[in-house]
Structures are given as C-alpha cells and as structure tokens.
Amino acid sequence: MKPFTIGFLILIAIAQPLRAEQPQDIILSHTLQAKQDNAAFLGFDAIRGEQFFKSQHNGGDWSCASCHTDNPAAAGLHTVTKKEIEPMAPSVNPARFTNTSKVEKWFKRNCKDVLNRECTAQEKGDVITYLMSLNR
Ligand code: HEC
C-alpha cells in the first residue's frame, strides 16, 4: 500500500466514532425492510411497541420487560445473571440504538429467548419507536 493510502485509512479509522449512527438511521433501515416484507406497511407505532415489549409470546415465560423492566427508561436487571442492564430509552441512555451491529446482535439473541424466533422488522421498528417515545 502507498503511504497515502495508509494515511487515508488511518484517517477513516479515526473519523469513525465521529459519525456514530443515530436511532433514526436504525429506524430507517427497519422501515425499508418492513416495506419489503409487507407492501401494506403503514409505519411504526409506539403503543404497539409497548404492548409487544411488555407481553409474553408463543407460550414463553419471558417478555422483553423481564430483563429491561416495565420502565425501560430506568435500569434493568438480567433475570438469570442478576447483572444490571443500562436503561433502554435513548433519552436517558444516548448510547442506545447508535450501532446497527450491536442492535441486531441483541435483537437476534433476545427475540430468540422471548419469542423462539427472530423479530420482524415491523416488531423491531415498533419497539424502537416506543423506546424513543419515553422521556426520563
Ligand atoms: C434475559 C434477559 C433479556 C431479555 C428477556 C431481553 N433482553 Fe434485551 N438485552 C439484554 C442484555 C443483557 C443486553 C445487552 C446489555 C446492554 O446492552 O445493556 C440487551 C440489549 C438489548 C438491545 C441493544 C440495544 C442497544 O442499542 O444497545 C436491544 C435492542 C434489546 N436488548 C432488545 C430486546 C427486546 C426487543 C427484547 C424482547 C423481545 C429483549 N431485549 C429481551 C437482556 C435481555
């Protein structure tokens, strides 16, 4: 590699944290996916997201609230490990929904635990919309 190329790559690496994703970017990518899944897609809904978050699914014992609690603007507690979980609402915890790969990794794991399947783009978008609607 030429020194110029190396310098350029180092510059990009340094600049990465400066262009952190925003929850809106993550909502947008779920919107595109939800439209692809369902031509009649009508948008995301905070109330539907709240119901989804607080309910059990497919006969399982857990809901999202089992670990993230009924008040996701406050800290949660892992039901199994008893480790504290930072609040989920971006108004309280601005680090939330700023890294697509982190978001998708945890959606995948947690949806499998709670629903026994992956969440749809509609469900994920509804949940993020709900969490973004919460104030401290
Ligand atoms: C068994 C406990 C548990 C349950 C149940 C659970 N979660 Fe989580 N969740 C965690 C842990 C642990 C993390 C990672 C630690 C952290 O980010 O604070 C996490 C992180 C996340 C993140 C990452 C967000 C970000 O940007 O940092 C999302 C999204 C998420 N959970 C959504 C859900 C949804 C939706 C459900 C219900 C389908 C759910 N979780 C159920 C424990 C749980």
Q: Does ligand 1 have an atom closer than 6 angstroms to the CB of 111?
A: yes
Please give the chain's pLDDT, 136 residues, in tens.
777 787 877 776 776 656 679 999 999 999 999 999 999 999 999 999 999 999 999 999 999 999 999 999 999 999 999 999 999 999 999 999 999 999 999 999 999 999 999 999 999 999 999 999 998 7
Q: Does ligand 1 have an atom closer than 6 angstroms to the CB of 8?
A: no
Q: Which amino acid residue places its CA nearest to atom 11 of ligand 1?
A: 85
Q: Does ligand 1 have an atom closer than 6 angstroms to the CB of 26?
A: no
Q: Which of 110, 113, 129 to mutate to test the pocket of ligand 1 (most atoms within 8 A of CB)?
A: 110
What would the two tokens of residue 73 be? 């603007």
Buried b (16+ CB within 10 A) or exposed e, 57-96: beeeeebbbbbbbeebbeebeeeeeeeeeebbbbebbeeb
Q: Does ligand 1 have an atom closer than 6 angstroms to the CB of 117?
A: no
What does the alpha-carbon distance between residue 66 and residue 38 come to, in Å, rounded to a whole number? 30
